[in-house]
Amino acid sequence: MSKKIILIFITLGFYLGIILVSDFEKFSSNVSQFKIEFLSIILALNFSVLLIKGFRQHIILKKLGISISNKDNLMLYFAGLSMLVTPGGTGQIIKSYFLKNKFGIQISKSFPLIFVERYNDLIAIMTIITIVLVLIQNYELLLAALVMWIIIILIYSAFRSNKIYKKFELIFNKVGFLKKRINGFSRSYYGLQTTTSKKMMAKNWFFSIVAWSIDAIAVYFVFLGFNQNLDFVYTTFVMYTSLLVGFITLLPSGLGVTELSFMGLLTSKGIEISLAASIIIMIRLTSIWFATVIGLLTTKVFLKDRFDNKHDPKVT
């Protein structure tokens, strides 16, 4: 049994556990009262988020010297979503595998893509969380956010530091089996430096902020669908704080931690646990699992055409 299927069963089991604990009858009642007309709006918003992030990927690939058509880029991005439910979404490194098999691009050349994408997502989420914390005047959590910003800056310094690169290069040259991979490592590290220049960071930050802001609007519509007209700032705070907590745990999509954190924040606001469970499950189904299904369907196309009609991308 593949790991994907096992993870799906674990997820279904976890969601079933939440439903049973929160009272199945109340949960069913909440879902039945959901305003179905909001579903198309929510899915459209979430799909637009994927399109924006796909465009961001195109910008990063070009900076890495990888030029593929807009169609192939979008298909590549969608295919990568099949591995979205992995620790920190790092399983999307499968995109490097697709680039190698379909376009003959070395994995070491495209390897930085996933890290740069995840890093920009983290910055965008932290930007939104920081703004929200200032607006709701939660200065205790604002201090915690400051710690995250320090970590983000340290990671950026590591990307840009030639001293750190030299130390890794020294290690690679001293270890036999790593010495053979020094060229690939150098290529990947150079790619990281190229895609984290100030101009690139500003550009990717902009598209990331737009994408995650639309995502926050989609979350707000889920609340409205359940007749919960809470403040937009608060719903954004609840969702993004929960996502960040789940991200830090490095569990696949923060499974379990994100949901429980979300429900805890809502129940502290006086919302029944059954309703909180209904909201978070709907959010997860229309966002991460919606994207995963798109990814799985697109992956079939990529695998089917792997040896057909080889493209000849312009690699500089």
Per the model's pLDDT, the better-predicted residue between 7 and 231 turns out to be: 231
What is the three-class DSSP state of 271?
A: coil
* DSSP, residue by residue, 8-36: HHHHHHHHHHHHHHT-HHHHHHHHHTS-T
Residue 179 has pLDDT above 90, yes or no: no
What's the whole-number average pLDDT of the chain? 86
Report which of 302, 286, 301, 297 is spatially closest to residue 48, judged by C-alpha positions: 286
Separation of alpha carbons 278 and 287, rounded Å: 14
Across the range 261-273, mean pLDDT stands at: 90
Residue 313 has pLDDT above 80, yes or no: no
Report which of 143, 135, 152, 159 is spatially closest to residue 248, judged by C-alpha positions: 152
Going by pLDDT thresholds of 50, 70 and 90, the confidence category of residue 147 is: very high
Residue 161 has pLDDT above 90, yes or no: no
Separation of alpha carbons 73 and 81, rounded Å: 13
Minimum mean pLDDT among 194-198, 292-296, 304-308: which range? Answer: 304-308
Minimum mean pLDDT among 43-52, 163-172, 189-198, 306-315: which range? Answer: 306-315
Separation of alpha carbons 238 and 216, rounded Å: 10
What is the three-class DSSP state of 143?
A: helix
Residue 303 has pLDDT above 70, yes or no: no
The rounded percent of the chain whose pLDDT value lies above 70 is 87
Residue 311 has pLDDT above 90, yes or no: no
Q: Return the pLDDT at 20.
A: 78
Q: Return the pLDDT at 56.
A: 97
Separation of alpha carbons 228 and 224, rounded Å: 5
Report which of 197, 251, 225 is spatially closest to residue 37, judged by C-alpha positions: 225
Beta carbons within 8 Å of 212's beta carbon, 6+ residues apart? 49, 121, 124, 125, 128, 240
Report which of 106, 121, 118, 103 is spatially closest to residue 186, judged by C-alpha positions: 106
If residue 314 lies in a helix (H) or strand (E), which one and from where to where?
A: strand 314-315
Residue 172 has pLDDT above 70, yes or no: no
Across the range 19-36, mean pLDDT stands at: 86
Place of tokens 């978070």: 280
Residue 100 has pLDDT above 50, yes or no: yes
**How many residues does this entry show for the chain?**
316
pTM of the model: 0.86
DSSP state for residue 1 in the 8-state scheme: -
List pLDDT tens digits, range 118-145: 999 999 999 999 999 999 988 888 988 9
User: Do residues 130 and 145 lie in contact, with contact meaning Cβ atoms separated by under 8 Å?
Assistant: yes
If residue 206 lies in a helix (H) or strand (E), which one and from where to where?
A: helix 198-225
Report which of 268, 271, 212 is spatially closest to residue 240, judged by C-alpha positions: 212
Separation of alpha carbons 140 and 145, rounded Å: 9
- What dihedral do alpha carbons 288, 289, 295, 300 form, nearest 10°? 170
User: Do residues 45 and 214 lie in contact, with contact meaning Cβ atoms separated by under 8 Å?
Assistant: yes
Separation of alpha carbons 307 and 215, rounded Å: 36
Separation of alpha carbons 76 and 54, rounded Å: 8
Q: Return the pLDDT at 19.
A: 82
User: Do residues 45 and 217 lie in contact, with contact meaning Cβ atoms separated by under 8 Å?
Assistant: yes
Q: Return the pLDDT at 103.
A: 87
